[in-house]
Amino acid sequence: MIFICVKWKVRPEYADRWVELTRDFTEGTRAEPGNIFYDWSRNVEDPTEYVLIEAFAEDAAEAHVTSPHFKKAQAELPQYLVETPMIRNVVLPGDHWDRLTEFEVR
Please report whether residue 9 resides in a domain.
yes
DSSP 70-88: HHHHHHHGGGGBSSPPEEE
101 domain residue, yes or no: no
**Assigned domain for 104 exists:** no
Query: Which DSSP category does 14 fall into?
Result: G
Over residues 5-58, the pLDDT tens digits come to 999 999 999 999 999 999 999 999 999 999 999 999 999 999 999 999 999 999
Domain with 49, as residue range(s), is: 2-94
Instruction: Report yes or no on whether pTM surpasses 0.95.
Output: no
Residue 84 has pLDDT above 90, yes or no: yes
* Side chain identity, residue 106: R
Domain-embedded: residue 36: yes
Task: Supply the CATH number for residue 36's domain.
Answer: 3.30.70.100
**Domains in the chain: how many in total?**
1
**16 Cβ contact list (under 8 Å, min separation 6):** 47
